[in-house]
């Protein structure tokens, strides 16, 4: 027991740069107190002292602001940072080296008996405010973004964000020629498909990239057709595409003014017009 408590204290130093010394961690970290309280409650729960286990759990909740059902299964080196508002349900299972931030809920979606709370693999991290609901599996090494609501299984080493939770993947540091073409087409039409940041993308951005690829191919084909028509009919080259007018985009100014790389006073139509001239 003493060795396990020392291991818990060391895990705090590994994952919290604000930790200064062992005495401070021992006396002023509610996440640590909640874990130790749960171990006592869980031991009572497994020995069928249900009421006493719930009372110990309730006392820990009152002292720390962290509610862990005594029936939950928690692995080694579990770390709750800050911790206020964390809720862990009865049938939740947590692996080793897992980290939860404040406001995380490992909850259920059913009133039926049996397994109704999530299972977290080793080295999982759940950001502040994340809600992981139902008897789902979060694979080892997975990351759950802040305020995400996850109701489906997450594979190992994946990152899930959003409401409802969507799995995202990191982009390679070096961009491929195809990716550069997509950026050029996005610039041409005055639309940024990468507002989710350069490092990550999501299924919506992936769909937009497919559209940009198709537009790139169509643009190339239309250019070829235009040159061929110019050779057959020189006056065809004088024909111009309809002009995009800024007033046609005025209704969207408020919605788009917060987009990265665009000033509050610049209308979207002005960007498109400038890039197509």
Please tell me the chain's helix, strand, coil percentages from 3-state DSSP, rounded to the nearest 5: 45, 15, 40
Task: Give the pLDDT score at 276.
Answer: 41
Give the chain's domain count: 2
Return the half-sphere exposure (C-beta side, CA atoms, 13 A cut-off) of residue 47.
Answer: 9
Q: 193 is in which domain, residue-wise?
A: 171-221
In a domain, 252, yes or no: no
Q: Domain check: are 116 and 186 in the same one? A: no
Whole-angstrom distance, CA of residue 52 vs CA of residue 277: 76
Q: Domain check: are 127 and 40 in the same one? A: yes
Task: Give the pLDDT score at 106.
Answer: 92
- What CATH number did the domain enclosing 95 receive? 2.160.10.10
* CA-closest candidate to residue 99, choices 56, 149, 142, 160: 142
Q: Domain check: are 163 and 187 in the same one? A: no
Task: Give the pLDDT score at 41.
Answer: 93
Strand pairing category for 149-150 and 131-133: parallel
Task: Give the pLDDT score at 70.
Answer: 92
Q: Domain check: are 31 and 114 in the same one? A: yes
Task: Give the pLDDT score at 83.
Answer: 80
pTM score over 0.95: no
pLDDT by position in tens, the chain (length 277): 777 777 778 878 777 777 788 888 888 888 888 899 999 999 999 999 999 999 999 998 999 889 999 999 998 888 888 888 899 988 999 988 898 988 899 988 878 888 889 999 998 988 888 999 989 999 888 888 888 899 888 888 888 888 888 887 554 545 667 666 666 655 555 544 434 444 455 566 667 777 777 777 887 788 788 778 777 777 666 666 666 566 665 555 444 444 444 444 444 444 434 444 4
Q: Domain check: are 106 and 208 in the same one? A: no
User: What are the tokens at 173?
Assistant: 């540091």
């Amino acid at each position: 027991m003493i060795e396990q408590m020392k291991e818990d204290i060391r895990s705090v130093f590994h994952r919290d740069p604000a930790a200064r010394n062992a005495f401070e961690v021992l006396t002023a970290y509610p996440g640590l107190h909640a874990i130790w309280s749960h171990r006592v409650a869980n031991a009572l729960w497994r020995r069928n002292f249900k009421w006493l286990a719930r009372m110990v759990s309730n006392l820990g909740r009152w002292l720390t602001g962290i509610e862990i059902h005594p029936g939950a299964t928690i692995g080694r080196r579990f770390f709750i940072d800050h911790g206020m508002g964390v809720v862990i349900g009865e049938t939740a299972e947590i692996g080793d080296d897992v980290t939860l931030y404040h406001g995380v809920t490992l909850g259920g979606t059913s009133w039926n008996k049996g397994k109704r709370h999530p299972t977290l693999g080793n080295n999982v991290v759940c950001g502040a405010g994340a809600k992981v609901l139902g008897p789902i599996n979060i694979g080892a090494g997975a990351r759950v973004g802040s305020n995400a609501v996850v109701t489906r299984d997450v594979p190992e080493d994946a990152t899930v964000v959003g409401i409802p939770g969507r799995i995202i993947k990191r982009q390679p540091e070096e961009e491929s020629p195809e990716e550069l073409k997509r950026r050029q087409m996005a610039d041409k039409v005055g639309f940024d498909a990468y507002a989710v940041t350069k490092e990550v993308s999501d299924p919506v951005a992936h769909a937009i990239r497919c559209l940009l690829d198709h537009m790139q191919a169509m643009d190339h084909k239309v250019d070829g057709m235009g040159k061929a028509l110019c050779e057959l009919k020189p006056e065809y080259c004088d024909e111009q595409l309809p002009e995009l007018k800024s007033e046609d985009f005025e209704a969207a100014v408020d919605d788009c003014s917060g987009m990265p790389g665009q000033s509050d006073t610049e209308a979207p139509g002005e960007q498109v017009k400038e890039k197509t001239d």
